[in-house]
Structures are given as structure tokens and as C-alpha cells.
Structure 1
Amino acid sequence: ATFRHMEHGTHEDWAAISAEFMPFARALPDRVLAHLRLLDGDCGGFPVDRLTHSLQTATLAHRDGQDEEYVVCALLHDIGDTLGSFN
């Protein structure tokens, strides 16, 4: 794309952006799994690492009968800790 402001984007610009975006979007599951792997071994003083904690949380949500979206949110609830530890 060649525009500097959204309002100046042409059909060709958006076609180029879309072509680049689709491979990025398809790789989302791999990025999520990579972020989960970053939690492996990160105990932060707790008796289990963040990956184990996330798996435990998702398992408890599943056993409680929560829907799939809730279980996935429970699984992923700590992945931001590697990016914004104090936020």
C-alpha cells in the first residue's frame, strides 16, 4: 500500500493489504501456542509455572461445564504477563 492516511487508500492498496493479512491471520494459532510456551517454566515464586496454572484453570472451567469460549479464555488468561508484567 502507498497511502499515508486511511481515507486515501485505493482498492489496489486494500487488495495488497488483504493479501498480506491473510497469511498473518492463518498463523494466529501458532502465535497463541508460542505465547503459551513462554509460560512454561515461569513460576514467579509460585509452586507451579504459569503454563501449568493456565492448563489447570482451563481444566477447572471445562469440568465446571463452561462453554468453549470461557475455557479458551481461562487457558489464555496469563499470556499477556510476558508482555506487560506490571499492567
Structure 2
Amino acid sequence: MSGPPLPLIENYLRETSFWQVANIGWGCKLDPKLISAFVEKWKLETHTFHLPCRECIITLENVQLQLGLPVDGSVLTGSAQFSD
């Protein structure tokens, strides 16, 4: 991990409710063997994990719920453009 986000962009991350997302994993030790095991189970064609017990799909709703991201704003696609 490279450390927390730079103070220069902290306000932007907080305004867009992405501050907590930018800090995920900071200060945590990642287990390369565990990550490799999950990568081996990922099926690119179907965007799912194929585990011994059954297939597991991670949806955008799952990500939103786990990270506590707000979904009540405008959709952002392509380049971000900020306006006042």
C-alpha cells in the first residue's frame, strides 16, 4: 500500500462520498495467497467466482452496500466534470 490519499484530493473524495473507499486496505497486510486463490476462481466470461460450494456473483449493488456508497445522485460516466 502506498498510504492514504493526498490531502490535495481529500476534499473531492469527501464531497463525492468516496473518502472511505479511498482508504480501504490502508495499513492492512494483504495475503497474496488468498488473493491468488480468488483470482484463480474468477471467470472473466461471466464475471463470477466459481467456488466449490457454488457460483458467486458480485454486483454493483453488493459493492454499494458493502462500501456504504450513496446512490441517490447523478450517474457519472466517462470523464468527470465538476461544476458549481
Category of TM-score, reference length = shorter chain: under 0.3
Indicate the structure (1 or 2) with the bigger Cα radius of gyration: 1
Kindly indicate which of the two structures has a greater share of residues assigned to strand. Answer: 2
Q: TM-score, normalised by structure 2?
A: 0.25
Kindly indicate which of the two structures has a greater share of residues assigned to helix. Answer: 1
